[in-house]
Amino acid sequence: MILGSEALELSRLRPSFRTAEERAVGPLGDPYLSRTPMLLTPDGDGLVITALRRHTVLLGEHPLVGPARVEGEALRRGALLTIGGRVLLLLHLQGDVATAVRSSGSSARARRSSACARRSR
């Protein structure tokens, strides 16, 4: 899932994820996850995750309630987001600035982020 210049709503119902090969696999769809979305908002070279009190979310090993910034360096390494103790998302940068500018048409400071979803057991 590519994060563009706008906030992305993340819940059990949206967005619809795709594989690296662009095959649609649908939303997370886990009935134990909230239908009320949290927000992933681009912020410079990083992003801000805004989780509500009803969300059970960990960024790495740290619980999130309210907004939390993920720095660009953390995205370059890959940041693990755990939702509801059941779903893991790997947030990371994809490509370099030139690639992002060509594909998104946004400013030279833009970065593309992607989230790869995997269910935990």
**DSSP-assigned letter for residue 102:** H
Identify the CATH number of the domain in which residue 114 sits: 2.60.200.20
Contact call for residues 47 and 41 (beta carbons, < 8 A):
yes
Q: What is the pLDDT of residues 19-33, one digit of tens each?
A: 778 888 889 899 989
CA 47 to chain centre: 9
Single out the residue of 31, 5, 1 nearest to residue 101, CA to CA.
5
Give 37 or 2, the one with higher predicted confidence: 37
- State the Cα angle at 28 between 73 and 34, rounded to 5°: 95
Q: What is the mean pLDDT of residues 102-113?
A: 30
Q: Print the domain residue range for 64.
A: 2-119
What pTM, to 2 d.p., does this model score? Answer: 0.73
Total domain count, the chain: 1
Q: What is the pLDDT of residues 61-101, one digit of tens each?
A: 999 888 999 998 998 888 899 999 988 888 888 763 212 22
